[in-house]
Amino acid sequence: MSKAVNNMNMGIVEPQERMKHLSHYGNLIEVDKNMPVTRYYRSGTEMLRMANVYLNEGNHENAFILYLRYMTLFIEKIRQHPDYASVKAEVKAINKKIKDEIMPTTEKLRAKLLAHYQREYEQFLASKEAERVRELERERQRLKELASRQAGGSGGIPSIIPANLHVQMDDKLQPTAPDLSLLDHVVYPNDFPTGANRSANLPNSGLLLPAAADPPASDKSTSLHPKPAFDRNQKPQYNRTDSLLAGSLRIVHVPGDTMDVFLQLARANTTNNIETCGVLAGHLAQNELYITHIITPQQQGTPDSCNTMHEEQIFDVQDQMQLITLGWIHTHPSQTAFLSSVDLHTHCSYQMMMPEALAIVCAPKYNTTGFFILTPQYGLDYIAQCRQSGFHPHPNDPPLFMEAQHMKIDNQTKIKVIDLRR
């Protein structure tokens, strides 16, 4: 097994290996030929917005992944879309942006990250070597004390010191200490810590590792697992809880009045048993997503469906206000809160572009609200592969959608509304 693989098993990866993993995540994007090609260009715009936010916040790993993902999409993957030829003007503009701006920025980030990983790796190796030396010194001291006690003639216990090792001191023969260098090649059980002790001397596990500071000496003497010393108010330069790497979903903050405000917007339609829908938009900060706006597009609704029109108006608003799409919200005027087969397909396009995208369903007749996503391990792929349209049956087991666990109601903020219906 290579050294790199061994290090990975311990939660450490050599610098070049870490960059390979980072690049792997940057290449994780596929093109669904059945999704409108314009959706990918909108997604690319929002991808760059998020990458720039990460860069400005000093979260270089997330920024690197998104820049790389953007280039992978528009240099390679988008060519697989059957409608690729219809967007030549956009392709030309994007290729110029990639060449002049994104590629140079990405290469600078690559060099910076590699240098950072190299420093972390050297610090880790130095820390392990220092710990090995300390452990050896503790073992020598233990044997030295043991030898001293036995040499003191306690109850006829035989001395472990050879009789021919003596030095002259004050006209008396005193036994010398044994040559402890002979112990350098002796292996003791404590050299191979197991369980919790194994991780006590290692940095945090995971692909991205900080340079862990040594705890104070007093802490080491009182606890086998000293807590890491850090200030939670100080944002680390390199974010180890990175959702893009770990595959976890970032928290989405929802203003507490979002549902009430939207139900007010939809009241006339609800009275007439017509669905109303809106786009949830917001921004990224500190690796969390914040819904700030409901954009209500021009639309046509029925008792169980809602179709938007003139989506370019939504894009114009988002471009002007630098907003990214974080999902959608709609009413079920006379039904409970759930995702119908049409809703599942609608939300699929949102969640494929933004894994954290929420589908909020308001059911005023039952005074309930649902916050849904397609199940990431099954539903998202199943619906993406489904070629049926309109209302049609889907299997319920395994479940295709679930209650979102990554959303958080924020009662301290207020939602803003942009109503394009007027």
CA distance 229 to 223: 14
Q: Please, which pLDDT band fits residue 242 given cuts at 50, 70 and 90?
A: low
**Digit-coded pLDDT (tens) for 367-396:** 999 999 999 989 999 999 898 888 888 988
**Digit-coded pLDDT (tens) for 111-167:** 999 999 999 999 989 998 999 999 999 999 999 888 888 876 555 444 444 444 444
Choose among 336, 391, 388: nearest CA to 365. Answer: 336
Which residues does 322 contact at the CB level (< 8 Å), separation at least 6?
A: 49, 283
Beta carbons within 10 angstroms of residue 142's beta carbon? 11
Q: Please, which pLDDT band fits residue 92 given cuts at 50, 70 and 90?
A: confident
Give the pLDDT of residue 150.
82
Domain covering 249-419 in this structure, CATH number: 3.40.140.10
Give the pLDDT of residue 87.
84
Q: Please, which pLDDT band fits residue 1 given cuts at 50, 70 and 90?
A: very low
Assess whether the region 1-156+192-248 and the region 249-419 belong to the same CATH fold: no
Q: Would you say how long the chain is, in residues?
A: 422
- Backbone phi, psi, residue 43, to 5°: -60, -40
Give the pLDDT of residue 277.
97
Query: Encoding tokens for residue 24?
Result: 């792997």
Residue 182 has pLDDT above 70, yes or no: no
Contact of 201 with 212, CB cutoff 8 Å: no
Query: Encoding tokens for residue 324?
Result: 């990214």
CA 324 to chain centre: 18
Share of the chain above pLDDT 90, in %: 59
User: Average pLDDT of the chain?
Assistant: 80
Q: Provide the residue ranges of all domains of the chain, joining segments of one domain with +.
A: 1-156+192-248, 249-419
Q: Please, which pLDDT band fits residue 25 given cuts at 50, 70 and 90?
A: confident
1-156+192-248: CATH topology: Methane Monooxygenase Hydroxylase; Chain G, domain 1 (1.20.58)
Contact of 379 with 223, CB cutoff 8 Å: no
**Digit-coded pLDDT (tens) for 42-87:** 999 999 999 999 999 999 999 999 999 999 999 999 999 999 888 8
Give the pLDDT of residue 228.
36
Q: pTM higher than 0.85 for the full model?
A: no
Helices (H) and strands (E) in the chain, counts: 14, 13
Share of the chain above pLDDT 70, in %: 75
Contact of 306 with 275, CB cutoff 8 Å: yes
Least confident of 120-134, 234-248, 292-306: 234-248
Give the pLDDT of residue 169.
41
Give the pLDDT of residue 148.
86
Residue 172 has pLDDT above 70, yes or no: no
**DSSP-assigned beta bridge partners for residue 284:** 289
Q: Please, which pLDDT band fits residue 12 given cuts at 50, 70 and 90?
A: low
